[in-house]
A and B are shown apart, each in its own frame.
Chain A
């Protein structure tokens, strides 16, 4: 677990969410331009989960290990679950709103990961 990576993921997810909200408000389709950004976000979340599990195997004990493990699993699946509603149409402006929902959820989970890990800023 890297608290700094988790914070970076939260900030990045917030940025992509703002981008998506802007596209949704302006009723503009993000088209395919957001796809690389979302892939990067998902890869970062997966890397974070791997580092987290490595830390747990290395001996770190969070205050509530079960709760923390729940957040680790959620951090990897929350974006695909939210985007499963997005559909295949890249030109649909509502797709941007769905992307925003997924990114906000990813940011919240990343911040919760830091807390449940026991990190104190």
Chain B
């Protein structure tokens, strides 16, 4: 009789899990959610901003490097690097799973460090930047979006990671 009672209890617990669906549901960044094809909505919204910035920075670098690469090679090169970083960020933030999440965290960290370093250098050493890069003046030419975006990305990724654990 005790075994029958325990079996009944197990079955009831299984049914409750099936109805609730919370205990077994994988988080958005879990390996199990790799089957899904899309990251959570907030991640995709951030990815959209990253994609637009990749387009803006990439076009700017392409035109500048094609027209007069010798005028401000450091600034133009930094614009090209920032475009590549934004592109990787856009792809990583769009994809679910722990691997893309790790990439996205690194992208946001590198981007934040880049904006702070280049922004400070452009203010302290203006002669080194005869033409502005995307990160000059802490991204002031782009409404300081390059400074705000990695902070938002890191906060979002941290929150998404907390929800998983």
Q: Chain A interface (Cβ within 8 Å of chain B)? A: 66-67, 70-71, 73-74, 77-78, 81-87, 92-95, 97-98, 101-102, 105
Nearest CB in chain B: distance from A60 CB, A: 19
B45 and A94 within 8 A (CB): yes
- Once A86-B48, A101-B48, A102-B48 are accepted as A-B contacts, the answer to whether A93 and B55 lie under 8 Å apart by CB is no
Nearest CB in chain A: distance from B83 CB, A: 13
Would you list 16 pairs from A and B whose C-beta atoms are within 8 A, ordered by A residue? A66-B67, A67-B63, A70-B63, A71-B59, A73-B59, A78-B55, A82-B48, A85-B44, A85-B48, A85-B90, A85-B94, A94-B40, A94-B44, A97-B48, A101-B49, A102-B48
Q: Which residues of chain B come closer than 8 Å to A98, judged between CB atoms? A: 44-45, 48
B106-138: which residues lie under 8 A (CB-CB) from chain A? Answer: none
Nearest CB in chain B: distance from A109 CB, A: 9
When C-beta atoms are compared, the residue in chain B nearest to A99 turns out to be B48
When C-beta atoms are compared, the residue in chain A nearest to B50 turns out to be A85
B55-76: which residues lie under 8 A (CB-CB) from chain A? Answer: 55-56, 59-60, 62-63, 66-67
Q: Which residues of chain A come closer than 8 Å to B59, judged between CB atoms? A: 70-71, 73-74
Interface SS of chain B: helix, strand, loop or mixed?
Answer: helix
A84 and B51 within 8 A (CB): yes
Q: Which residues of chain A come closer than 8 Å to B51, judged between CB atoms? A: 81-82, 84-85
A-B contact count (CB 8 A): 58
A87 and B44 within 8 A (CB): yes
User: Which of A70, A77, A97, A105 touches B41 (beta carbons < 8 Å)?
Assistant: A97
A101 and B44 within 8 A (CB): no
* Cα separation A77 to B66 with both chains bound (whole Å): 21
B55 and A74 within 8 A (CB): yes
B52 and A101 within 8 A (CB): yes
B48 and A87 within 8 A (CB): no
Q: Which residues of chain B come closer than 8 Å to A77, judged between CB atoms? A: 55
Among B51, B56, B63, B67, find the residue whose CB has the most chain A CB atoms closer than 10 A.
B51
Q: Which residues of chain B come closer than 8 Å to A78, judged between CB atoms? A: 52, 55
When C-beta atoms are compared, the residue in chain A nearest to B41 turns out to be A94
Nearest CB in chain A: distance from B29 CB, A: 16
* Cα separation A81 to B40 with both chains bound (whole Å): 18
Nearest CB in chain B: distance from A33 CB, A: 18
A66 and B41 within 8 A (CB): no
Decide if B8 is an interface residue (CB 8 Å cutoff): no
